[in-house]
Structure 1
Amino acid sequence: MAMNPFKPTAGKMPPILIGRESAIEEFTEGLDNGAGAPGRIMLVTGQRGFGKTVLLTEFRRIASERKWQVISETASPGVAQRLIDALASNGPHIEQASISPSIGIPGIANASLGQINLSSNTIPLTLRNAISKRLQSGKIGKGKGILITIDETQAASIDDLVAIATAVQHVTTSIDETDIPDTEKKGVAIVFAGLPSVVNDLVNDNVTTFLRRALRCELDNVPLLDVKNAFLESVVDSGKTMNDDDAWRAAQATDGYPYMVQLVGYYMWQSAQRRHSDVITGDDIAAGIADAQIAFDDAVCAPALDGLKSAEIEFLHALTADYPKATAIGDITSRTGRSRSWVNKYRAALIKDRVIRSAGHGLVAFAVPHLGEYLKRTA
């Protein structure tokens, strides 16, 4: 039985990581080029649906293939404690923990700065020491190390993230100061992934200035020609066919948005499959686009508005009259009846969160595909 090659589920590996080749290459080179290589510390940013989680999955696959140990975490309260638990999983049982800067662990009393109390005896064990101990273990070979991926960084406290970044900084510095050849040094690699504003806050924190030297990977829309070619290649590999014009029509409907690429691909392929046909037709494309739009609204457009202030929603509604074209700042001022300073304030906030983007001098447009259309329909 033929299997649908498109994977729109969050974090599920798609058949082709189109448009992400340079990020994958830089990460791979970071692991292969030894201690101190730039690709070992990366910051991946992008809006929801741009493929951050998928990219982290690929990074972990690459690291595992190279015999690195991998620790994967999704940021949420207690992420720093869970990292220590994972690193010390083969060691004594951890009874209580706190990580510098001061972080309260739910259900556990605060400990002194960076100290962990063990059941066997009391030994100061910071996150830094937990990483160092795992690196010194015989389970990690020469020139290998530990990869830590932190997804959804916007869900973690800045204190947690600073603590993790600081620990990695100290471990990396200690490794660099040894006289072991770089090719034999055991190292640590870390990748933070999240929405742009939160990752920017992490970089700009005075405690984690070393992250300003990290490789930045800002995920953006995929060129439509690449999308079209990926559709053609994936469809053929799955045992079906489609013509060039239909592939281009499907690509245009995605706006190059990675999640929409997977949705359109999935539903157009499934439409042909329901007909027991090996040919994806124009009707399948139309059905796929319609089904993909519904799924995209629920998974991307609605969540993109969650947590926005009422003033920000008001600002966005002022853009819908021009959608899909850009809107002049002066028109937003007149449509909302607000002052120029009010408009400038929320323009800056929405650009920072990548909900809108600058579209030229005095112009803004939606940064999330189809969001303007969604707002029109739900107004």
Structure 2
Amino acid sequence: MDPVRNPYSPGAGRKPAALVGRDDALRAWDTSLQRVRIGRTDQPFVLYGLRGVGKTVLLSEFRRNAARKDWIVAQVEAGTGKSLRELIGEALYASLADLARPSAGRRLLKGLRTALSFKASYDATGTWGFGMDLSGTPGGGADTGILETDLKKLIKDLAEAAAEEEVGLAILIDEAQDLDDGELATLCTVAHAAAQDDWPVLFAFAGLPSLPRILAEARSYAERFQYTRIQQLDADVVAEALTIPAALEEAEWDDAAVEVVVGASGRYPYFLQQFGQETWNAATGPRIDEAAARLGVAQGNNQLDNGFFRARWDRATRSEQAYLRAMAADGDNGSPSGEIAARLSRKLTSLGPTRASLIAKGLVYAPEHGVVAFTVPGMAAFIDRQMLE
């Protein structure tokens, strides 16, 4: 069928044509947006799960929903080599620039002035100005160099500015587990202060399955945040991720074709998009049959092996790859650290640096004490295929 009209879009954080199976999380976020309007606030949202389950897609939908209500919004991705200070400062600029105007109210002008001081705290040569002279405006003070002090001042003043505009402030952090300990602790502290004083601000964090533990270790009260584990799509809606986009292009899936793709995907959204895209291209249409689905899965697996999985495998050193091979014997279920050491004929303590490096690279995580697991579903099978080559 026409590849130009292919409705499937595999890729990191790319919104699918049909965002299915996430209604509960979206409904909860929308409820919180509405609560802010009437002066009630909620604890931060925390989305956690393996890679490929759609956390970034969902977080971005949170952002879009807030932006549609004209909120001040900043969405950032940790682990990019930039500090949290710089990430948040730069992400806020577009929303603030849209609000800036000479007739702005006192609180908005104060928030803009504070944002300028926050910018100066990490970029003394910055050229922000919002097209206005704010030199005589109250505000500022977010440039002490102490992250907790500066970020709290920024969030408070911008939240008050948002309230003056009858909207709210949303701060969304993707890959939150990659923030350093001090940045995580600061975010928890500021979010806690915002909840205590009813600032009209919502926080949302997304990250790997280890994120709840990391947040709780940063600040004990993070245990009260709203945690949502993002997993595979439920069996009763997973087919819609394939059939709805096709119907929008006047195409239809055979039940057997759906079964092939759903089974091969493990109901993981990323894999559904990859197999859906390849199956569409393999089909003659307008009906997508089982033969096209089987070919699409084969071609999709080849794409995943050469991209999605290969990129992660190649980031590991030889010794780290040996560690991953030892893990692969247990599939995607997780491996006891002691068992890995036994398979490699190594002392457990000698493998500590390798394990720490793999965690830092985001290739494995520790679901519980003494156990490690792959952050990517299907990684064990990929490693098995490499060993057969």
Residues 186-195 or 1-10, more deviating: 1-10
**How many angstroms apart in 2 are the aligned matches of 1:321 and 1:165?**
38
1:126-145 aligned at under 5 Å gives the runs 126-137=150-161, 140-142=164-166, 144-145=167-168
Deviations 1:303-360 (A, max 9, x none): 44466676654343235457589989997566433457889999999899784898xx
1:150 aligns with 2:182: no
Task: Compare relative contact order (CA 8 Å, sep 6+) and give the higher one, 1 or 2.
Answer: 2
Residues 363-372 or 187-196, more deviating: 363-372
Question: 1:63 is matched with which residue?
Answer: 66
- Letter paired with 2:326: A
1:285 aligns with 2:293: yes
Question: 1:26 is matched with which residue?
Answer: 28
Task: Tell me the CA shift for residue 137 of structure 1.
Answer: 2.7
Structure 1 unmatched ranges of 5 or more: 99-104, 109-117, 176-185
The one of 177, 180, 183 aligned to 1:160 = 183
Residues 194-203 or 327-336, more deviating: 327-336
Task: Tell me the CA shift for residue 43 of structure 1.
Answer: 1.2
1:173 aligns with 2:196: yes
Question: 1:187 is matched with which residue?
Answer: 200
The answer as to whether partners of 1:228 and 1:250 remain within 8 angstroms in 2 is no
- Letter paired with 1:286: R
Task: Tell me the CA shift for residue 65 of structure 1.
Answer: 2.9
Deviations 1:7-38 (A, max 9, x none): 21222211222332222222222222345554
**How many angstroms apart in 2 are the aligned matches of 1:356 and 1:202?**
15
The answer as to whether partners of 1:47 and 1:354 remain within 8 angstroms in 2 is no
Task: Tell me the CA shift for residue 278 of structure 1.
Answer: 0.9
1:222 aligns with 2:233: yes
The one of 365, 373, 386 aligned to 1:378 = 386
The answer as to whether partners of 1:48 and 1:304 remain within 8 angstroms in 2 is no
1:124 aligns with 2:141: yes
The one of 207, 213, 216 aligned to 1:203 = 216
The answer as to whether partners of 2:257 and 2:292 remain within 8 angstroms in 1 is no
Q: Name the Cα RMSD after superposition.
A: 3.9
**If the length of structure 2 is used for normalisation, what is the TM-score?**
0.73
Task: Tell me the CA shift for residue 370 of structure 1.
Answer: 2.6
- Letter paired with 1:170: A
The answer as to whether partners of 1:222 and 1:256 remain within 8 angstroms in 2 is yes
- Letter paired with 2:156: S
Question: 1:250 is matched with which residue?
Answer: 261
Task: Tell me the CA shift for residue 296 of structure 1.
Answer: 2.1
Determine helix, strand or coil for the equivalent of 1:226: coil
Give the 3 Å change call, closer, same or farther, for CA 375–166 of structure 1 in structure 2.
Answer: same
Question: 1:112 is matched with which residue?
Answer: none
Deviations 1:60-106 (A, max 9, x none): 122223332221212242332342452665534448655xxxxxx48
Aligned residues between the structures? 345
The answer as to whether partners of 2:212 and 2:227 remain within 8 angstroms in 1 is no
